[in-house]
Amino acid sequence: MNGPRLNELVALVARGLMVRTDSRQVQPGEVFVLMPSAAGQSAAFLADALARGAGWVVLDQNEPVPGDMAAALVRVDDPAATLGMLAEAHFRTREQAMQVVAVTGTNGKTTITYLLEGLLSACGRKVGVLGTVAYRWPGKHIDASLTTPGCWRLHELFAQMSADGVDTVIMETSSHALHQKRVAGLEFDAAVLTNLTQDHLDYHGDFEGYYQAKRLLFGSYPRADKHKAANADDTYGVRLLKEFPDALGFTLKDAAGPGNSMLKGTLVECTAKGMLLRMEWEGKCWSLNSGLVGAHNASNLLAAQAVALGLGMGPADMQPLAPFTGVPGRLERVMNAHGLDVFVDYAHTPDALINVQRALRDAGFKRLVTVFGCGGNRDRTKRPLMGRAVADMSDVCVLTSDNPRHEDPLEIMADVRPGLSDAKQVIEDADRYQAMVKAVSLMQPGDALLIAGKGHEAYQQVGDVKHPFSDVDAAAKAIREVRG
C-alpha cells in the first residue's frame, strides 16, 4: 500500500520536514512514524502524537486509527523500512561519498573496529567509528548509548561525519539493529561475521533466529556486490560461507572452507607480551608482530585484514596493525604500583569468557582468579554456562553482580551457581567492589586476576538507574585498599 502519498511525504522530508519515532518529541506539522516495536502501546503513542499536532502519521497498513484523525495518513507495508527511506531522503545519505564497513558477530566487534580504524587511518583515510564504546571521528567523540543507534540517529551521524570529511565509516552492527531494521536506508561496501555464540536468545528465541538476524547484513541489505568475510573456524561462519560463495573466509585452524577464497593465519608464537601471526592468501605470505594477547585476538586480526583485502588493500599495507595494543575494557591492564597482573575485560558470554581466560592461561600465569557476574533481564539460559566456563578455566571463581537491572542480584547468582559445581574454589559477594577486594586479597606472586563482564562501561545499572562504576577504577581502588 506504499503509494503516491508516501512519495509526496518523501519529497517533503527531503526538503527538511522532521520525522519522529518518539511521540513525546513531535512538534506541530511533523511526521510521526509508529514503529513495530510500539506493539501494545500503539494507540497511546498515536494519540499522544496527534495531540501534539503531528501533520503526518506513517503506520502499518493494518494498524487501527481513530475516525476523526486530522493528520495525513500514510499506510505502508513496513514502517521500519519506510523510516530508513525517509532518513535517507532527509540526510541525503546515499549522496555521501563514504565507504561503509559493517562488523557483526557475538564477540570481537569492538576490537575489529579499532583495528580497522587504526589500519585505514594509517593509510590516509579519514575514519568514523560507530560502536559499543563511542561514536567518534576526527575531532568528535560521543559516548555510545547503543552499539548501533536508532535509524534516524544513525543517518544523522552519517551526515555529520560526511560534513566533517570522513571517507570511511566502520560500524558495529548488532543483531537487534539488523532485525529491527535500524540500518535501513544504508548501503554497505563490506561486511564481516566474527562468530556466533550464545547471547541474546531472550530476544531472538533460538540460535536459528539469531543467525538469520545476522545473515540479513549479508543477504537482505542493499549492495549485493559488497565484500563479504566470515570466520571459517565458527560453525555459523562456515554456514554463511556456503550460502555466499563470493565471501572471503579467514581461519586459524587451516579450515578448507566450502570452496571460498581463504585467508589463513598461523599463530607462530603467543605469550603474555603478544604474538607472531603469519598470514597466507592467494599465494602471498606476510607476518605481524602484535602486542595483542590470545588466539581470539589473532582471529580478530585476521578479520580486520579480511575486510582490508576486500577494500583493495594488499599484504604490504597490513603492518600498521602491529603497534595496536588494545581496546578500552578488552583485556585492559589495571596499572598499579605493586606489579599485580589485573585485567578488565568486557567478556559477558560463555564463549568470550573462555577466550579471554584461555588467553591468560596461555600467557603462563601460575593461577587465574576470575571475578564475573551476569546481567539482569537478559538471556537466563547462558548463566550456568558462564559459570561452567569460569569453573573450567579459573583456579578461583568470584561470583558477583553485573548490571542486575530489574532482577534481584542474588537470584541471578543462584542461576549461575549450578555451573560452578565443579569449580576448585568459589567466593560469592553481590557487592561488585567487595568482590574485587576479596579477589585482590587472594592474589599470590605469578597470579592473574580477570574482572569480566563490564569492560569499558562506566556504570552499574540497578533498576533503571545507571550508578557511576568503572571496573578499572574500582580495581585500582581495591588494590590500594588491600596492598596499601
Phi (first) and psi of residue 168, to 5 degrees: -140, 130
The answer to whether residue 54 is domain-embedded is yes
- Judge if 207 and 253 occupy the same domain: yes
pLDDT digits (tens, 9 = 90+) for 339-398: 899 999 999 999 889 989 998 998 889 999 999 999 999 889 999 999 999 999 999 999
The answer to whether residue 212 is domain-embedded is yes
pLDDT bracket for residue 40 (50, 70, 90): confident
Q: Among the listed ranges 76-90, 116-130, 218-232, 233-247, which one has the minimum average pLDDT value?
A: 218-232
- Judge if 18 and 110 occupy the same domain: no
What's the confidence (pLDDT) of residue 67? 77
Are 447 and 366 in contact by the 8 Å Cβ rule? The answer is yes
The answer to whether residue 19 is domain-embedded is yes
- Judge if 129 and 270 occupy the same domain: yes
Q: How far apart are alpha carbons 390 and 190 in whole angstroms? A: 35
- Judge if 79 and 120 occupy the same domain: no
Are 382 and 354 in contact by the 8 Å Cβ rule? The answer is no
- Judge if 109 and 68 occupy the same domain: no
Domain hosting residue 65, numbered range:
4-90
More confident residue, 203 or 22: 22
- Judge if 129 and 161 occupy the same domain: yes
Cα 326 to chain centroid, rounded: 16
Average model confidence (pLDDT) for the chain?
A: 92
C-alpha cell at 358: 584461555
The answer to whether residue 53 is domain-embedded is yes
Instruction: Count the domains in the chain.
Output: 3
Give me the CATH number covering residue 66.
3.40.1390.10
- Judge if 179 and 311 occupy the same domain: yes
The answer to whether residue 327 is domain-embedded is no
Q: How far apart are alpha carbons 17 and 14 in whole angstroms? A: 7
pLDDT at 143 over 90: no
What's the confidence (pLDDT) of residue 203? 63
- Judge if 214 and 308 occupy the same domain: yes
- Judge if 23 and 57 occupy the same domain: yes
What's the confidence (pLDDT) of residue 204? 54
- Judge if 303 and 435 occupy the same domain: no
The answer to whether residue 132 is domain-embedded is yes
| % of the chain residues with pLDDT over 70 | 97
Give me the CATH number covering residue 240.
3.40.1190.10
The answer to whether residue 308 is domain-embedded is yes
What's the confidence (pLDDT) of residue 260? 87
- Judge if 195 and 56 occupy the same domain: no
pLDDT digits (tens, 9 = 90+) for 444-471: 999 999 999 999 898 999 999 999 999 9
**Mean local confidence (pLDDT), 317-327:** 91
pLDDT digits (tens, 9 = 90+) for 80-112: 999 999 999 999 999 999 999 999 998 899 999
More confident residue, 145 or 123: 123
282, 300, 321 — which closes off a domain? 321
